[in-house]
Amino acid sequence: MAEVKIAPSILAADFGRLFEEIRDIDQAGCDWIHLDVMDGHFVPNLTFGPPVIRAVRKASSKTFDAHLMVTNPDRLLETYREAGADIITVHAEAADHLDRTLSRIRDLGCRAGVSLNPHTAEECLRYVLDRLDLVLVMSVNPGFGGQSFIPTVVDKVSRIREMLDGRDVEIEVDGGITPDTAPAVVAAGATALVAGSAVFKGGSVASYKQNIEALRHAVRDL
Ligand code: DX5
Ligand code: ZN
C-alpha cells in the first residue's frame, strides 16, 4: 500500500513569514501543501486567495492542495489554477452545479476534489464518482484550526471508500488530526491527512520534521 500523504495546513503557520514557513515544511518532508481558502461567507473566517498563493508558489515544488471554503467557487477556478493550485477542492454544500464544477477543474488540468462538512451525507458523491480525484472529509466544522476531531467521520470514511468501489480516488481527512486520531481514519480508508496545529509546532524545520514523522509513524503498517 502506498504511504499516506501528509498535507500540512498553512493555516497554522506564521502568516508573517509564510514563504519561509512553506519552504521549511517542504524541507521537513511533507507531501502536499494544504491551502485553506476562506471567504468569510461560507465559513466565518477569512484567510487568503489567489494573490497570496501566487506569491508563495515558489517556496515549494510540492503539490499545492487548495481547499476552497467559499460560496460560489466557480467564479475563480481558473485564477486558482494560474496562481499555482494543483488540486482544487470545492465544498459540495457550496457548489450549485457540482458535476459541472468538477469537470471544469479537470479541464483546467487540476485534480478535482469535493469536500463534505461533518453533517453532510456522502450520498451526493455517488453521482459524481467518475469526475472525482479526491474526497476531502471534514472532521471538524470548517473555519478554524485547532478544533477537536469529530469521531463520526471514521465510519463515513469507510462508507466512502466502499462507494468508490476500487476507483483510484484519494480520501483526505481534515481537522483535528494528530498521531492519536490519524490511525482510525487511515484504517477506514483515508490516503491523505491534513494537519495544521499538530505539524506547525515548535517553529523550526527540525520540529516540523519530528511532527510529520510522528504522524507517519502512527499510521504505518496498520
Ligand atoms: C479547517 C481547515 C483545516 C484546519 C486544520 O477549516 O480546513 O485545514 O486548518 O487544522 P487542525 O489540524 O489544527 O485541526
Ligand atoms: Zn482544509
The model's pTM: 0.98
The CB of 173 under 6 Å from ligand 1? The reply is no
Residues 6 or more apart whose Cβ sits within 8 Å of residue 106: 112, 131, 133
Domains of the chain, residue spans: 5-219
The CB of 36 under 6 Å from ligand 1? The reply is yes
174 is catalytic: yes
- The predicted-structure confidence for 82-96, as pLDDT tens digits, reads as follows 999 999 999 999 999
CATH number listed for the domain at residues 5-219:
3.20.20.70
Whether the CB-CB separation of 48 and 75 falls below 8 Å is answered with: no
Mean per-residue pLDDT pooled into runs of 10, the chain (222 residues): 93 98 98 98 98 98 98 96 98 97 98 98 98 99 98 98 98 98 98 98 97 98 84
Mutate to test the pocket of ligand 1, among 34, 174, 177, 200 (most ligand atoms within 8 A of CB): 174
Whether the CB-CB separation of 132 and 170 falls below 8 Å is answered with: no
